[in-house]
Structure 1
Amino acid sequence: MNILSVLHCELRKIIRSNVFWIVFLVLGFGPIMMGVGNVLSSNAGGIHWEQYLTGLLDTLAPLGLIGYTFIAAWVFGREFSDRTIKDLLAKPVSRAKIVLSKFLVILAWCLLLSIYMFAVGFAVGAILGVEGGSAAFIWSLFFKFLITSLLYIFVTAPSILLANVTKGYLAPLGLILIIVILSNVLASFGFAPYFPWTIPSVFQSTGSLQLSSIVILAYTGIIGIAGTFAWWRYAEHP
């Protein structure tokens, strides 16, 4: 089997799963509540798109981290919890292709989720009468949000490795809850540019990153990705 065939099988498994649709349903509430909250908390003079989208995306991007981590952990962890790992390994395809196809599916799913959350938040603002702002400005914020989402997706890689090592997706979910708490604490002490899971939010706020932040982010993602490929290559599987 070539990589396209394996990727097609992974996509079919994901789309046919109820989890695929539940993720969009659950995370759709985030931009709705945040969007409504931003409008209601604005002054009597109304709120403009710049203020609305800046406030929305600064809080929406970290929310996506939880969704991305769940997606990444579930795509790999479900093979163990559903006991389909033996059937998967019995297919005439290399383990590297299996891992690569899963990574590509995770990337596509998470990016689609990011676009969906932005669209929902934008629709809420339009319905509630947010004014001002040019199309160029809105597009610039959208692309910055997409880059931020990609950075968050990249740092979910250690959670993928943990899902494989622990043979499930509960441990990564527990880890991300701890990370969210640590992120808030470290950010309040000014360490956001040096903690992998807060670095994307720094980019969302400033539009740029220090070299040290880029290096930390790169090492975090590479360790998770390389570790996952190595685990599938060398670890004993049931």
Structure 2
Amino acid sequence: MSAALRTETIKFLRSRAPCATLTAILLPVALAALFAVASDTPRLGAKSRALGITPDWPGFHTALMQIDAAGGFLLFGILVTWMFGREFSDRTVLDLLALPTSRTAIILAKFTVTTAWLLLLAALQTAAWLATGTLLGLPGTAHQGLPDLLLLLGLTIALTLPVALAASAGRGYLPGIAATIALLVSGVSAATLGASAWFPWAVPATASGLTGAASLPLTGLTIAAATAATGIAATALWWRQADH
């Protein structure tokens, strides 16, 4: 496991993914700041306030939560897809499986590196949100919105991990990206219908308030955690059993 983890870490850090995702994770903060500042203008104020976006910390928080519910899921899903689909697109899967390391260790190493990086991106975005709001001198306080933002980012990370199964079974990028988009659309639709208590991918949209007032049943958290664990186990099982 240590050899697989070291190899996957080196492969990831030497790729362009770290730089690309570090840049992309800051875009929602910039957009949320733009919407929060624009909400104080006569032209966009009414529309922004209808979405709960106001020129203060709560409005800045609301804007970022709504953007992250869709954009964050898409970004994290693409990264998971890349981590697992690249072996097929780069035609290195057979070389990878020929190594004297178990397939389970390789997959768990991939999940470990992916999750660690996604957590780092979440921490970076949170820090950028706090720094941007402070520089803008927004009235109010950020303390109330901080736990909600961290919860949303954690849920998004957990619910994008099963995308690895689609990228693996589909043997490339396209199935993983298609699965990410399908889960995102179906999750927002299900959240609109109040299905977050039983449909895992409706939980982020519900928690962010993207489909109305933010609310999250306890069963939603349990289902999200179970979905992540099932996705990891199913992906590892597929790599062990599949005929490559």
**Structure-2-length-normalised TM-score:** 0.83
Q: 1:15 aligns with which of 10, 13, 16?
A: 13
Alignment of 1:34-183 (within 5 A): 34-42=32-40, 47-133=55-141, 138=143, 141-183=145-187
What does the per-residue CA deviation read over 1:173-228, in whole Å, with 9 as the maximum and x for residues that have no partner? Answer: 112222322233333333344321121343455575232x3453344323311111
Cα pair 1:31 1:60 within 8 Å, conserved:
no
Q: 2:145 is paired with a residue of what secondary structure? A: helix
Residue type at the aligned position of 2:4: V
Residue type at the aligned position of 1:104: T
Distance in 2, Cα, partners of 1:154 & 1:40: 33
Unmatched tracts of structure 1, length 5 or more = none
Cα pair 1:111 1:146 within 8 Å, conserved:
no
Distance in 1, Cα, partners of 2:229 & 2:27: 32
Distance in 2, Cα, partners of 1:121 & 1:84: 39
- The alpha carbon displacement at 1:73 in A equals 1.1
Residue type at the aligned position of 2:38: L
Q: Which runs of 4+ in 1 moved over 6 A?
A: none
Higher relative contact order (CA 8 A, sep 6+): 1
**For the structure 1 residues 131 and 214, does the alpha-carbon distance in structure 2 shift closer, same or farther, using more than 3 Å as the test?**
closer
Alignment of 1:208-219 (within 5 A): 208-211=216-219, 213-219=220-226
Residue type at the aligned position of 1:76: F
Bigger shift: 24-33 or 217-226? 217-226
**For the structure 1 residues 207 and 183, does the alpha-carbon distance in structure 2 shift closer, same or farther, using more than 3 Å as the test?**
closer
Residue type at the aligned position of 2:108: L
- The alpha carbon displacement at 1:236 in A equals 0.9
**For the structure 1 residues 9 and 66, does the alpha-carbon distance in structure 2 shift closer, same or farther, using more than 3 Å as the test?**
same
Distance in 2, Cα, partners of 1:119 & 1:63: 18
- The alpha carbon displacement at 1:147 in A equals 2.9
Residue type at the aligned position of 2:234: G
**For the structure 1 residues 215 and 125, does the alpha-carbon distance in structure 2 shift closer, same or farther, using more than 3 Å as the test?**
closer
Bigger shift: 225-234 or 85-94? 85-94
What does the per-residue CA deviation read over 1:135-174, in whole Å, with 9 as the maximum and x for residues that have no partner? Answer: xx52x63343223222222222331111110111211211
- The alpha carbon displacement at 1:16 in A equals 0.9
**Structure-1-length-normalised TM-score:** 0.85
1:196 aligns with 2:200: yes
Cα pair 1:158 1:223 within 8 Å, conserved:
yes
**For the structure 1 residues 125 and 215, does the alpha-carbon distance in structure 2 shift closer, same or farther, using more than 3 Å as the test?**
closer
Question: How many residues matched?
Answer: 230
Q: 2:129 is paired with a residue of what secondary structure? A: helix
- The alpha carbon displacement at 1:35 in A equals 1.6
RMSD: 2.4
Percentage identity across paired residues of the two chains: 32
Q: 1:194 is paired with a residue of what secondary structure? A: coil
Cα pair 2:104 2:239 within 8 Å, conserved:
yes
Distance in 1, Cα, partners of 2:140 & 2:162: 41
What does the per-residue CA deviation read over 1:64-95, in whole Å, with 9 as the maximum and x for residues that have no partner? Answer: 11111111111111011111112211222111
Cα pair 1:61 1:145 within 8 Å, conserved:
no
Partner of 1:232: 239
Cα pair 1:64 1:114 within 8 Å, conserved:
no
Residue type at the aligned position of 1:146: L
Unmatched tracts of structure 2, length 5 or more = 43-53
Distance in 1, Cα, partners of 2:189 & 2:239: 35
